[in-house]
């Protein structure tokens, strides 16, 4: 009989492209993964990996086995979810990722509630950009992710994932206190065309969205500085070297040299949780969504 953990090791090598990458994902040593694969080769009587330069490649037998392994692992997850649902208890472990402002603005309250109401549930949280976290949920490396999209640019939901809305979050523009529009009650993005901007780092959902949003009102936005944390962006705005878009969820203290001005045409992002279809019946998933919704601060609007 094929061993489940050995199939998981082979599936991880196929998914991530190397033994070392699979070991990182499985939180074991490369030696442990190699031993699992060697035992699987003995079990099947087939060569599964071949040298390919400095790495490895899967043989035809391995590719065939990986296809079955994916179905088997999915069925195992579904069985575990069904057992949890049948028992009705919120137990076990839940691995969850969220983008930075959600980690700061939602997670502390949600984790406190989960710990108080479901002490037998262990929740592991990591900070991750939605562009990276959704594939990790789809592959089974995470149980759930808290992600975002904007009213002017929805985020496609990959097939095989479910989602549940958590809240709506409004964004304002942060201007240096000496900016000519800093004293306004509201400002139109078109009035800021040609200004220098401060953005999140490249290849993040916030940076990509800001570029497309500003291009809609300006030929080519001047993104002159990039920083991942909003606190760092605000420090740069306070120095008078650019503007930034500032969502209200998880907003840190605003320096005195920064003016936060609402936009005349509001930019709103929808925050929601995503999980795999196979895990939809897990009580832990439902409990986490409930806790996240209950922890929404007054600056955001809870999902209906």
Q: Give the residues of the chain that fall short of pLDDT 70.
A: 1, 53-54, 73-74, 76-88, 219, 304
State residue 235's pLDDT score: 95
State residue 157's pLDDT score: 85
State residue 118's pLDDT score: 94
In CATH, the number for domain 4-85 is 1.10.10.10
**What is the spatial distance between Cα 285 and Cα 274, in angstroms, rounded to a whole number?**
10
State residue 91's pLDDT score: 84
Q: If you write DSSP's letter for every residue of 98-145 in order, what string do you get? A: E-HHHHHHTHHHHHHHHHHH-TTEEEEEEE--HHHHHHHHHHTS-SEE
Domain boundaries in the chain?
4-85, 93-163+273-302, 169-268
What 3-state DSSP class applies to 289?
helix
**What is the spatial distance between Cα 42 and Cα 208, in angstroms, rounded to a whole number?**
48
Same CATH topology for 4-85 and 169-268? no
In CATH, the number for domain 169-268 is 3.40.190.10
- Label the pairing between strands 161-176 and 301-302: antiparallel
State residue 138's pLDDT score: 83
Query: What are the beta bridge partners of residue 275?
Result: 144, 162
State residue 218's pLDDT score: 76
State residue 304's pLDDT score: 61
In CATH, the number for domain 93-163+273-302 is 3.40.190.10
């Amino acid at each position: 009989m094929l061993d489940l953990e050995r199939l998981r090791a082979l599936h991880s090598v196929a998914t991530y492209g190397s033994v070392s990458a699979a070991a990182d994902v499985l939180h074991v040593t490369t030696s442990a993964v190699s031993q699992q694969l060697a035992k699987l080769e003995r079990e099947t009587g087939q060569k599964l990996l071949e040298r390919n330069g400095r790495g490895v490649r899967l043989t035809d037998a391995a590719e065939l086995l990986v296809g079955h392994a994916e179905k088997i692992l999915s069925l195992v997850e579904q069985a575990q979810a069904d057992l949890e649902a049948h028992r009705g208890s919120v137990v076990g472990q839940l691995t969850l990722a969220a983008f930075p402002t959600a980690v700061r603005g939602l997670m502390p309250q949600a984790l406190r509630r989960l710990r108080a109401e479901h002490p037998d549930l262990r929740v592991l949280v990591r900070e991750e950009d939605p562009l990276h976290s959704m594939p990790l949920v789809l592959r089974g490396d995470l149980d759930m992710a808290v992600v975002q999209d904007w009213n002017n640019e929805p985020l496609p939901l990959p097939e095989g994932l479910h989602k549940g809305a958590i809240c709506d979050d409004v964004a304002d523009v942060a201007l240096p206190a000496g900016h000519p529009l800093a004293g306004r009650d509201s400002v139109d993005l078109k009035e800021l065309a040609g200004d220098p901007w401060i953005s999140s780092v490249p290849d993040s959902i916030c940076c990509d969205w800001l570029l497309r949003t500003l291009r809609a009102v300006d030929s080519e936005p001047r993104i002159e500085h990039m920083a991942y944390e909003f606190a760092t962006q605000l420090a740069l705005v306070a120095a008078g070297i650019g503007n930034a878009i500032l969502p209200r969820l998880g907003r840190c203290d605003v320096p005195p040299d920064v003016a936060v001005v609402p936009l005349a045409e509001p930019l709103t992002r929808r925050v929601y949780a995503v999980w795999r279809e196979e895990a939809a019946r897990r009580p832990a998933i439902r409990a986490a969504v409930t806790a996240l919704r209950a922890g929404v601060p007054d600056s955001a609007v809870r999902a209906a």
